Amino acid sequence: MQSDRAAKTPRHVAIIMDGNGRWANARGLPRTAGHRAGVERVREAVRTAHEAKIEFLTLFAFSSENWNRPKQEVSDLMGILRFFIHKDLAELHRENVRVRVIGCRETVQSDIRKLLDEAEERTRENTGVTLIIAFNYGARDELVRAVRTIAEAVSAGNLDPASIDEHTVSDTVDTAGIPDPDLVIRTSGEQRLSNFLLWQAAYSELVFIPCLWPDFDRKAFYEALNEYAHRDRRFGTVSAPDIAVGS
């Protein structure tokens, strides 16, 4: 499968993991069952990223809007997160995976925040796939926090407003030091970003997969990678064949 994509492997893949609830509803199961099934796909996605030599994998685990879901579902999701970190952190560490977390942590329960901090600290020196977990994350909130930080630096006299450019923002958002995603995948057939990496995805290739997240297996991941491999990424420029035709 890798040979089909030749050398066109994205360095950074971001995934909106959508459809857990619908997967469970279609089977007459509680929504929690869908979220639990989705955790296994997280494990498989990390293994596939390693196999495909993807350096960075970002997973949209819990948005800042998800707190508006029914209290029991939110409670179940927090329980699943606790279980995942307790159960999988040691294995991720053994597999040389580095964990990073993006999103606002200030309003998160203290024990969850401690687990997220522990996951980052324990794997900080690992050099394999970097797994970026977007938790309590919303792109607009991220940009507001970045603008506030920049404004404070200007107010303190530490930053000249005239020097503010794209690099200033990129160095201030949650993903500072991480390359922008080359490919954003969304499962479940929905075709929108839903407040995910709005700054970083400016030039990302978007692939929308019809299957629900608990059905997103290794084969589906490679199909998305193959779709990416056939895209012509020009970043606003004109390709050589187009220049020849237009000349």
> Out of 66, 126, 195, 226, which one is annotated catalytic?
66
Cα(8)–Cα(236) distance, integer angstroms? 19
Q: Is 3 annotated as a binding residue?
A: no
CA distances (Å), 41 to each of 15, 45, 56, 154, 227, in order?
A: 12, 6, 17, 44, 20
Q: Is 205 annotated as a binding residue?
A: yes
Q: Is 65 annotated as a binding residue?
A: yes
Q: Is 105 annotated as a binding residue?
A: no
Tokens 């099934």 belong to: 37
Cα(137)–Cα(106) distance, integer angstroms? 12
Q: Is 19 annotated as a binding residue?
A: yes
Q: Is 31 annotated as a binding residue?
A: yes
Q: Is 194 annotated as a binding residue?
A: yes
> Out of 4, 18, 88, 215, which one is annotated catalytic?
18
By the 8 A CB rule, do 207 and 225 touch?
no
Q: 18 catalytic, yes or no?
A: yes
Cα(218)–Cα(223) distance, integer angstroms? 9
Q: 76 catalytic, yes or no?
A: no
Residue 132: strand pairing partners: 58, 100
Q: Is 122 annotated as a binding residue?
A: no
Cα(41)–Cα(82) distance, integer angstroms? 17
Q: Is 21 annotated as a binding residue?
A: yes
Cα(216)–Cα(245) distance, integer angstroms? 40
Which amino acids are annotated as binding site for Mg(2+), given as ranges?
Answer: 18, 205
Catalytic residue numbers, as ranges: 18, 66
Which amino acids are annotated as binding site for substrate, given as ranges?
Answer: 19-23, 31, 35, 63-65, 67, 69, 186, 192-194
Which amino acids are annotated as binding site, given as ranges?
Answer: 18-23, 31, 35, 63-65, 67, 69, 186, 192-194, 205
